[in-house]
Amino acid sequence: MDRPDLTLQRAPLVDTFGRQITYLRLSVTDRCDLRCVYCMKAKPTFLPKKDLLSLEELTAVCDTFIARGVTKVRLTGGEPLVRKDILSLIENLGARIGKSGLEEVCLTTNGTQLPRYAAALASAGIRRLNISLDTLDPDTFSTLTRGGQLEQTLAGIRAARAAGLQVKLNAVAMKGVNDGHLPGLIEWAHGEGHEVTLIEVMPIGEIGVDRADQFLSLAQLRAEFENRWTLTDLPDSTGGPARYVRLAETGGRLGFISPLTGNFCDTCNRVRLTCTGKLYMCLGRNGAVDLRDALRNGGPEALDALLDTAMRQKERGHDFDVSRGAAAAVPRDMATTGG
């Protein structure tokens, strides 16, 4: 398959609101070895292999984005490490770091596969991982993941640390489920040298739950934390929507991603590509373009042209509202879009 020359930079991707897209979140599979209650149905129907972009196609898509100014690629899923031969894609992308503007390739994972993959990821150029961990209580973990084992994820975190990878833990805050566990999780993580980012429940996917029952305002949670710790706002940014504070008592950094109580759309710098080649300009909107069809029928030139169309379709912000209850802002679940 022909690929764009990485030494030739093209015009950057800029939407109609003047926001430059520098961050691609790339889902490599909709499959996962866990069944988290805020992410997918208990018995999901997975896509047939023929519908997925091949690893070569995923590389070609990334090359086009890199040529258009993307500096950061994050591989997601589902669980990206359950995709067969995923290391070949990671090695290909790792070899591009430092060329034509690509600065970083990173990964979001549930951690279960890291004892097997952590050392190879580090060798391939991965430096940072986001690992999903919502609680340190084994029973709650099993409930949230519908049967997952906490020790598997903890073993993955240890393997990542042993491989020299920087670990940031992501926890979805859920009212009456894990909210009481979060202080202990934060203190443990900071003691281990890991950052933590808390995320509000988002109304994505019709997965049979009432989002109003799950939703916990991070503004409310921060106020509760201020009765426990001394929080100092930080100007830090990792290129995403998190807002950071430092905890004086632990010395660690804590992030808040608040799509409902602290809308961050004005500075959006990202797009999301599903494993089937659908490019979503906004996590909370339905509008998408089909990069798979463009790539397979028109090659990299057609793909490049379609990115300009996508930029004209990117809206100012999402349409999240948990008051809808079980009705989602978008019907596709997180595993389909890419976490």
Q: Is 25 annotated as a binding residue?
A: yes
Q: H or E stretch including 270? A: strand 270-273
Q: Is 268 annotated as a binding residue?
A: yes
Which two three-digit tokens encode residue 160? 């990542």
Q: Report which of 184, 187, 200, 198 is spatially closest to residue 136, judged by C-alpha positions.
A: 184
Instruction: Please list the residues that pair with 104 across neighbouring strands.
Output: 72
Q: Is 158 annotated as a binding residue?
A: no
Q: Report which of 321, 333, 255, 283 is spatially closest to residue 23, judged by C-alpha positions.
A: 283
Q: Is 106 annotated as a binding residue?
A: no
Q: Is 282 annotated as a binding residue?
A: yes
Q: Report which of 94, 1, 21, 3 is spatially closest to residue 307, judged by C-alpha positions.
A: 21
Most distant pair of Cα atoms in the chain: their distance: 59
Q: Is 32 annotated as a binding residue?
A: yes
Is-contact 109 81, C-beta < 8 A?
yes
Q: Is 10 annotated as a binding residue?
A: no
Vertex 47: Cα angle to 210 and 108 (nearest 5): 65
Q: Is 123 annotated as a binding residue?
A: no
DSSP conformational letter for 277:
S
DSSP conformational letter for 175:
T
Q: Is 74 annotated as a binding residue?
A: yes
Q: Is 96 annotated as a binding residue?
A: no
Q: Is 62 annotated as a binding residue?
A: no
Q: Which residues are annotated as a binding site for [4Fe-4S] cluster?
A: 32, 36, 39, 265, 268, 282
Q: Which residues are annotated as a binding site for GTP?
A: 25, 74, 108, 168, 270-272
Q: Which residues are annotated as a binding site for S-adenosyl-L-methionine?
A: 38, 78, 132, 202
Q: Which residues are annotated as a binding site?
A: 25, 32, 36, 38-39, 74, 78, 108, 132, 168, 202, 265, 268, 270-272, 282
